[in-house]
Structure 1
Amino acid sequence: MRVHRPDGRPVHLSYCTNVHPAEDLSGIIGQLDTYAVAVRERLGADVLGLGLWLAAPVAAVLAEDGEARRGLRRELDVRGLEVVTLNGFPYEAFQAPVVKHAVYRPDWTTPERLDHTLNLARILVDLLPADADRGSVSTLPLAWREPWPAERRDAARRMLDRLAEGLSEIAWQTGRVVRVAFEPEPGCVAETSAQAVDMLAGTDTDRLGVCLDLAHLACAWEEPKAAVDRLAAAGIPIVKVQVSAALEVADPVAARPVLQRYAEPRFLHQTRTAAGHACDDLDLALAENPPGPWRIHFHVPLHAPPAPPLTATTPLLRDALAVVDCDHFDVETYTWDVLPAGQRPTSPAELADGIAGELAWTRDQLTGARA
């Protein structure tokens, strides 16, 4: 979906399909019919943007088969769908019953992660609309924070150098530019904008940059303008923004019965306090019970506030959208299926309603149409 900022700049707005479990080509095409077309119709949009998630096995097949890529492009075109960005963070099985730390493997010390990311870049070249300036692929910020000895750090740097070389080769061969965006996340080697600067110092910033996930930014208790200014001063481009909101609670003791409904077994819900106390999952925070306020890495619907006394970090999200300079915005609420009962969609139609509501809300924030 193309929208214009208040100053007239055009940007791409999409929703990330990692909310859907399909990991083979027929399943992916099926989810386009079940969800993406329905979302587009609810929004009344001629074209809907997707932040496509392709698991590693199907990405490997598509990267080797040009006719399969062209076939996928045709399937998108006939449904009024377009892709300028891919989510390369989850490698596979992202909607498995238990994901937790597995989402960080393989990491950027391994050739598997490099190969997968370059496969995604090759695929994206054939999916990009003809009038798109460039494509983007988001990925993890190197690895989970431990173990992280010098030899793993050096291995990751070599992989980033090879990644930049591979992206340059793809651009030379095809004439299309794809940039890779590293996504700071709580608990990882880079979870703050300052750590992102350190991570990418000395790399090819024509090819590599940052994916700014706004729920992660909130959980790091960073002020958006300070983070954006820090990245700009270091010459690190914001290649992609993941539009997301985290849970927030002022008094976790009073909110404990409600919080317990969000402590679920599939995803990791890193919890950070304003004073800097860090817990790697919500159940650990509930056991340790540090003083509030807390921010919790649980992506909640953008347009629907959580049950009181919980709130969401949408005020920070709005502040970030007002100051960030980027042209790829991807709504990434992958947690619809693990929301507490009563907030969780119970049918494909309800999920399409929710995704459309989030996109409409984000469109209004980006265009200045909000009240």
Structure 2
Amino acid sequence: MRFRHPDGSLVHLAYCTNVHPAEDLDGVIAQLDGCSALVRKELDVPVLGVGLWLAHQLADQLANSEDALERLQQALRRNGLEVVTLNGFPYAGFHDEVVGKKVYLPDWTQPERLHYTRNLVDVLAQLLPPDAAYGSISTLPLAWRTPWTGEQDTRARAAVSRLEMHLARVEESTGRQIRVAFEPEPGCVIELVPQGAEWLAPYGADGRIGLCLDTCHLAVQFEEPAAAFAVLDRFGVPVVKSQVSAALHVADPGDAEARRLLAEFAEPKFLHQTRERGGAGIDNLDALDQLAGSDAWRVHFHVPVHAAPRPPLSSTTDVLEESLGYLVGGAHPRTQHLESETYTWSVLPSSPRDTAELAEGIAGELAWLRSRIVALGLEAL
């Protein structure tokens, strides 16, 4: 969806297609013709933004085959869809039976990560609508936190420098600016916004390298939005893109009913990093006994923003809404790219039964977000 900010800027809202398991071209086109088309129909909007997830083999194919790229573009056109952002975090296998820490591989010390991201840059430069100010690609926060040595950090910086050069070449040859956004996540080398701001500070001047602010991750770490944006301003690091999502919140870990309901979210596919306010953190829900339980918990489980979990569980939509105010509610938007990224529909305690129900849920999230964005003074187009 598109919005006009009071300053005249065009702000885009998309849903991330990593919710769909397809990894080849036929599968991606089928998801666009199927679920994405249904979401647009449900919302009754002239154009729907999709934040494409392209697995590495498909990204390579699209970057090197005009015919394949044209097939994808035709699918987007016939369904009234547009692409201004890509999710370049998962490399492949995001819908394997168990994903876990595999999602952080290859990391930014490995040449495969740079090659994949370059392919995504080349593809997005061709997919961007003519009136989009820039394209964005979100990527992982360097790597899982261990092991991480000074030598690895040096290799990662060398890779990002090569990426910078590629972004400049693509902009010069196509006239389209593509930006890459590193996404802080609990448990990773960069898990807090201040860590991201400090690491990314050397690259912020031209705006091509910056931060992807995931409001679920922000909330899990109990970071305050005001402080997060202040530190980004201090280091001069742009918010290239924001994933506007919500985490699980357990106000009283001693509540037996809350514990019982939380157990329904413990599933093996994805990591569900959990943090206790003012206390320790764990890497998955199977280690809850390591937490003191003396204050609130937040869980890295992307829950639908428009549908609250069963009480006494709740979600962090308050953090999302506060962040939206900083992102697009000021005199000028801090980012023009917002993305709904609830990829966990298939592992929710009550998951959608079919494509129609999934499309209804995604549309419900986007409608909820649209109402909040409009309330900040933007015009829905």
Confirm or deny a common fold (TM above 0.5). yes
Aligned to 1:359: 366
What amino acid sits opposite 1:260 in the alignment? A
Report what 2:250 is aligned to.
249
AA partner of residue 198 (structure 1): E
Work out the CA distance in 2 between the residues paired with 1:155 and 1:258: 43
Counterpart of 2:344 in structure 1 is 335
Q: Look up the match of 1:202.
A: 202
Which residue does the alignment assign to 1:261? 264
Match of 1:226 in 2: 227
Contact 1:251–1:293 under 8 Å retained in 2: yes
1:298 corresponds to 2:301? yes
Please, which moves more after superposition, 196-205 or 132-141? 196-205
**Unmatched runs of 5 consecutive residues or more in structure 1:** none
Decide whether the 8 Å contact of 1:299 with 1:334 is kept in 2.
Answer: yes
Kindly state the Cα deviation for residue 4 of structure 1 after the two structures are TM-superposed: 2.9
- Deviation by residue 1:283-325 (Cα, 9 ceiling, x = unmatched): 1124545323001000000000001110000011100000122
1:311 maps to what in 2? 314
Corresponding residue number in structure 1 for 2:330: none
State the partner residue of 1:276: 279
SS in 2 for 1:227: helix
1:1-371 alignment to 2 at 5 Å? 1-5=1-5, 9-203=9-203, 205-206=205-206, 207-254=208-255, 255-286=258-289, 288-324=291-327, 325-340=334-349, 343-368=350-375
The separation in 2 between residues aligned to 1:336 and 1:98, in whole angstroms, is: 15
Structure 1 ranges of 4+ moved more than 6 A: none
**Contact kept? 1:4, 1:367, Cα under 8 Å:** no
User: Can you list the C-alpha shifts for 1:253-297, whole angstroms capped at 9, x where unaligned?
Assistant: 311111111110000000011113110111112454532300100
Other structure's SS at 1:136 match: strand
The one-character-per-residue Cα deviations of 1:318-365 (angstroms, maximum 9, x if unpaired) are 00000122100000000000001xx31111110000000000001111
Q: Would the alpha carbon gap of residues 74 and 351 (structure 1) be closer, same or farther in structure 2, given more than 3 Å must change?
A: same
Q: Return the alpha-carbon distance in structure 1 between the equivalents of residues 6 and 176 of structure 2.
A: 28
The question of whether the paired residues in 2 share the 8 Å contact of 1:187 and 1:270 is answered with yes
How far has the Cα of 1:65 moved from its partner?
1.1
Taking the aligned partners of 1:268 and 1:57, their CA distance within structure 2 comes to 24
Taking structure 1 as the reference length, the TM-score comes to 0.97
Question: Percent identity of the aligned residues?
Answer: 53
Q: How many residues align?
A: 368
Q: Using the alignment, how far apart are the partners of 2:376 and 2:112 within structure 1? A: 43
Query: Separation in 1 of the partners of 2:289 and 2:354?
Result: 31
CA distance in 2, matches of 1:280, 1:28: 31
2:354 maps to amino acid: S
Distance in 2 (alpha carbons) for counterparts of 1:353 and 1:6: 30
C-alpha offsets along residues 29-70 of structure 1, whole Å, 9 cap, x if unaligned? Answer: 001122000000000011100000000011111111123212
Contact 2:276 2:296 in 1 (8 A): yes
Question: CA separation of 1:167/1:8 partners in 2, compared to 1, >3 Å: closer, same or farther?
Answer: closer
- Verify the 8 A CA contact 1:239 1:328 in the aligned structure 2: yes
RMSD of Structure 2 on Structure 1 (CA):
1.4
Residue 239 to residue 369, structure 1, CA distance change in 2 (3 Å): closer
Answer yes or no: is the 8 Å Cα contact 1:218–1:246 preserved in 2.
Answer: yes
Asked if structure 2 preserves the Cα contact closer than 8 Å seen for 1:183 and 1:212, the reply is yes
CA distance in 1, matches of 2:306, 2:289: 27
Q: Which whole-Å deviations, capped at 9, do the CAs of 1:192-236 have from their partners, x for residues lacking one?
A: 111001221322542100000000000111111211121012110
Q: Which runs of 5+ in 2 are unaligned?
A: 328-333
2:321, 2:6 → 1: CA distance? Answer: 14
Q: Displacement, 1:8? A: 5.5
Q: Secondary structure at the match of 2:211?
A: strand
2:56·2:116 contact (CA, 8 Å) conserved in 1?
yes
Q: Distance in 2 between matches of 1:307 and 1:286?
A: 22
d(CA) in 2 for partners of 1:10 and 1:57?
A: 32
Letter of the aligned partner of 2:322 in structure 1? D
Aligned equivalents of 2:55, 2:290: Cα separation in 1: 34
Structure 2 Cα separation of the partners of residues 169 and 41 of structure 1 = 38
Distance 2:177 2:137 in 1: 11
